[in-house]
Chain A
Amino acid sequence: MAEWSGYLTLILLGALVTVQLTVMGSALALVVAFLAGLGRIARWWPLRWLATAYIEFFRGTSIFVQLFWVYFVLPFAGVTLSPLAAGVMALGLNVGAYGAEVVRGAILSVPKDQREATVALNLTPYQRMRHVILPQALPLMLPTFGNNAIELLKATAVVSLISLTDMTFQAQVVRAQTGSTLVPFLTILALYFLMALAISSGVRALERRLTAGLDGVR
C-alpha cells in the first residue's frame, strides 16, 4: 500500500502540470480569441483576411500535428521552445481559433440598436466597443468559453507525446511500473472530471456575476 502512495504522488505531480497547461493555455487562447475575433470584424480587409486565415488553419488541422510542428519543426526555423512552452502555444492557438468565432458571434449578436445609440452619442469606435458592445457580448461568450476551456483541459493529454510529464504521462509510467491499468487510469479519470467540474462551476459563477442586473433584457 505504501508504494501506491508514491505512485499517487507521481500522478498528482502530473496533475499539477496539467493544471499549469490548462491555465496558461486558456489564457493564451483567450487573448488570441479576442485578437482574431475582433480581426474578423475589422473594417480593414488585410486584418480580416489574416484573422480568417489563422482561424481556418488552426481549426482545420489536428492539434496533434500542430503540437509536433511547434515542438519538432520550429527548431529548424531557429525557434526552440521548452516542452511546456510548446504545449501552451499549441493548445492556446488551437483553442483560440474556436474562441475567435465565439467572440465574433457574440459581438455581432448585440442588437444593432445599441451601436446606433453609441453613434448618436458620438462615442469613438473604441469607446463603443469597450463601454457598450463588449460588456453586453461578454456574458454571451462565457458558456462557450467554458466549453472551450474544458476541451483544452482534455487536449492537454496529447502533450505527453512531447515528453511533458502531465497527468496522462504519469499514469502511463505508473501503469508500466505496476502493470495495473485500472488504478492509475481510474485515478486520472476522476481527476480530469474534477478539474472539468471546477472549470464549469467557475464559469457559471462568473456568468451570474456578469449578468446581474441584466435580467429581463434577453
Chain B
Amino acid sequence: MTEPIIRIDRLEKSFGALNVLDGLSFDVMPGEKLALIGPSGSGKTTILRILMTLETISGGHIEVCGEQLFHMQRGGREVPADEAHLHHMRRHIGMVFQHFNLFPHKSVLDNITLAPILTKGEPRAKAEARAMELLEMVGLADKAQAMPSQLSGGQKQRVAIARALALQPRIMLFDEVTSALDPELVEEVLLVMKRLAAETDMTMLLVTHEMGFAHEFADRVLFFDKGRVVEQGPPDTIFRQPTHERTQAFLRKIIAAGHRV
C-alpha cells in the first residue's frame, strides 16, 4: 500500500473574517491526476496557492512527500516552518498560473533555465539542453530566443508549463491555466497537458472551468463548495451521476452556460 503524496488534514484558511477553507481534508496518491471544480470563491484556487506556499494557513496540517509543509520539529516541539524549511519543501512542487507570470525581461530560454541554474546549480549548458527538450515537447523550440512579449497567450502558457517542468517537481499545480486565453488558444495548451498526463507519473492537481477537459484528464474529481469537498469520485460519476444537490446545481449552471461536460 503506497502512502499518499499529499495529505491535507483539517485545513483552515481565513482572510480576515472570511473563512475560505473550513476544515478541509483530502489525500492525493502519487501519480494521481486530480481535478478541482466548483463555483468561484469555493476555495479551490486557495488550496493550490497554499500548497505552493503562496498563502499561509490558519489551522490544520499539510503533509507533502512525507514531511510537514508548514510545520517543523524543533526541540521536540512542532513550530511554524521557517523560510529554509519552505525552500526545502518547495522543490517537490511546481505551479502554472492563470496569467503565466513569465519574466518579461528574460528570453523564453532564460525563463526556463533561470531556476535550474540558480536553485540546483545546474551548468548552463545542461540546463539549456533540458530547456530545449521541454520546448520541443510543448512545440515551441523555434521560440527559444523570443521575448515573452512576442508570444501569444497560448504560447506563453506553454512556456510557463515548460518552465515549471524544468525543475522536475513530483507535484504540479495548474491554476485555471486556460482561463485567461482566447478560446482558439485553449486547445493547444490542453493538448500539452494531456500529453504530460499520459507520459509522466507526476502528480497533478488541476483547478479548471473546462469540465470536458477535467472529465478526460482526471482520475478523480473533487467538487468544492464553501471551503469544503462536497463530493468526490471518478469523473464519470461526478459528471454523469452527481449525488449531491449542490454538485447537480453547479453542473446544470455550467451546461446552461454552453460548456461541454
Contact = CB atoms under 8 A, between A and B. Distances in A.
Contacts of A131: 114, 118
Interface centre among B97, B114, B148, B167 (most CB of A within 10 A): B114
Given A122-B90, A122-B91, A217-B149, A116 B118 contact: no
A121 B97 CA distance: 12
Interface in B97-152: 97, 99, 101-105, 114-115, 118-119, 147-149
Given A119-B53, A131-B118, A113 B83 contact: no
Given A135-B105, A214-B104, A120 B94 contact: yes
A88 B167 CA distance: 48
Contact of A123 (B102, B115, B148): B115
Contacts of B118: 123-124, 127, 131
A120 B99 contact: no
A215 interface: yes
A132 B148 CA distance: 14
Contact of B115 (A113, A121, A125, A136): A121
A117 interface: yes
Main secondary structure of the interface of A (DSSP, over half): helix
A194 to B, nearest CB: 34
Nearest to B166: A121
A136 B106 CA distance: 10
Nearest to B107: A213
Given A113-B99, A114-B103, A119 B91 contact: no
Given A120-B94, A120-B164, A122-B91, A113 B101 contact: yes
A130 to B, nearest CB: 9
A117 B97 contact: yes
B52 interface: yes
Contacts of A127: 118-119
A60 interface: no
B87 interface: yes
A216 interface: yes
Closest 8 CB pairs of A and B: A117-B101, A121-B115, A120-B95, A122-B90, A217-B104, A216-B149, A113-B101, A135-B105
14 contacts: A113-B101, A114-B103, A116-B97, A120-B164, A121-B163, A121-B167, A122-B115, A123-B114, A123-B118, A124-B119, A127-B119, A213-B149, A217-B104, A217-B148
